[in-house]
Amino acid sequence: MNTVPLGSVSQINPKKPRDLDPDTLCSFVPMEYVDDHFGTITEAATRRVKQVEKGYTYFHDRDVLFAKITPCMENGKCAIARNLVNGIGFGSTEFHVVRPKHDVTPEWIFYFLRQHSTRQEAARHMTGTAGQQRVPTRFLQEVMIPLPPLSEQKRIAAILAKADRLRRLRRTARDLSDTYLQSVFLEMFGDPVSNPMGWEREAIKDLCDKVIDYRGRTPPYSDNGIPHITASCIKDSRIDWTQCKYVSEETYAGYMTRGLPEFDDVIFTTEAPIGETAVVNTRERFSLAQRLLLLRTDKSRMGSHYLSTLLSQRSFFPRLKQYVTGSTVLGIRSIHLVSIRIPVPPLPLQQEFAQIVHQFERLRAQQREAQRHAEHLFQTLLHRAFREEL
């Protein structure tokens, strides 16, 4: 496949026209309006040209926007401008604008810039000080892009677009399911703050057999060994084992003197991000980092899944927030958390909810696997598109 410098088939950062009417309406797109995962403009404000023509980057329909600054560029902030008000827009000064000429399509340039390899190469050419590094214009002018005939560009871009839509659908299905358990909880138990069912309230500490607040030093990590769960591993009401670090057997023995986590324990994050919860679903050994609180419920009175979901309810967060302290590092002390009184519904109802959670977790596992396959398919096709024939 023939390759050419990107600057030979496109204009890089073209100048704004001089005859723009200052009262004309246009789209306004700050950096945060560009989705870094799917490469789309998620929303746009409407402004008059005179409000944004100074100090912002000009572009028009079918231009490709490419973030120049770290970490936005590495994260994949890149999009094709479409459906702009009056066909014109202004946005962040941290955008490079790539305007295709007659022998290349914007979709071809977009997918080329979205490649992980292209972004890696761009990162190697960044200039500036740490935290303020930017991709220079020269990189985009000189980077070599494969250039098949227009008909082939369109054919391959259509294949990539289908794979892209598939992964969007997988992500949308996952996002929609995120609210499912919260909704079921409210239907079965009512809001835990207003307690419309009139359940008796008790302090969390009186509903637990053990409470362990993991504080202190960070242990030395190993390349392998026993998984070490940090606060960043607790998200979406589960433990993300792919994000865990590892500690050696010796470190594990010395570090876990406060007590070992067990199957069905509840883990709660006491510092940013505050209020993330998960129920331990393995009997394998692992250690817990500082900023984590372990709650072992009294199984004769309190179900782990009920407690975990209650603590993660949106309406419950204001109750937590009133106990948050700190200036540079915000956190909630365990003594305050466990003193909060919560509704205690009948145990059989809690157990019924736990069964729903287990069924839902199996569905979520299937969704994650489907999403992983869709992501892999898209990345594989993206790689092949600019190196092989699709």
Dump pLDDT digits (tens) for 271-289. Answer: 878 889 999 999 999 999 8
| 293: nearest Cα among 260, 269, 320, 271 | 269
Query: Given phi > 0 = left and psi -120 to 50 = alpha, else beta, which region is 259?
Result: left
Q: What is the pLDDT of residue 322?
A: 87
Size of the chain in residues: 390
Q: What is the pLDDT of residue 388?
A: 66
Q: What is the pLDDT of residue 203?
A: 97
In percent, the amount of the chain with pLDDT more than 90 equals 71
Question: Model pTM?
Answer: 0.70
Beta bridge partners of 235: 238
Dump pLDDT digits (tens) for 159-185. Answer: 999 999 998 888 888 777 778 888 999
If you write DSSP's letter for every residue of 216-269 in order, what string do you get?
A: SPPPPPBSSSEEEE-GGGEETTEE-GGG-EEE-HHHHHHHGGG----TT-EEEE
On average, the pLDDT of the chain sits at 92
For the chain, count helices (H), then strands (E). Answer: 12, 25
Cβ burial, residue 15 (10 Å; 0-12/13-18/19+): exposed
Cα separation, 224 vs 241, in Å, equals 13
Helices (H), the chain: 49-52, 72-75, 106-114, 116-124, 137-142, 150-177, 180-189, 249-255, 304-311, 317-321, 334-337, 347-385
Given CA atoms 168, 171, 172, 173 in this order, what sign does their dihedral have? Answer: positive
3-class SS of residue 144: strand
Dump pLDDT digits (tens) for 103-120. Answer: 999 999 999 999 999 999
Beta bridge partners of 332: 324
Q: How many CB atoms lie within 10 A of CB 164?
A: 21
3-147: which CATH number, 1.20.140.10, 1.20.58.100, 3.90.220.20, 2.60.120.620? 3.90.220.20
Q: Which of 157-166, 255-264, 329-338 has the highest mean pLDDT?
A: 157-166
Residue 60 · residue 88 · CB < 8 Å? yes
Rg for the chain, CA atoms, rounded: 26
Q: How many CB atoms lie within 10 A of CB 329?
A: 9
| 181: nearest Cα among 342, 366, 361, 316 | 361
181-345: which CATH number, 3.40.50.2300, 3.40.190.10, 2.60.40.10, 3.90.220.20? 3.90.220.20
- The answer to whether domain 3-147 and domain 181-345 are alike in fold is yes
Q: One-letter amino acid identity for 354?
A: A
Dump pLDDT digits (tens) for 334-364. Answer: 999 999 999 999 999 999 999 999 999 998 8
Of the CA atoms within 13 Å of residue 383, those in its CB half-sphere come to 8
> What are the structural domain ranges in the chain?
3-147, 181-345
pLDDT of 262 > 70? The answer is yes
Residue 353 · residue 305 · CB < 8 Å? yes
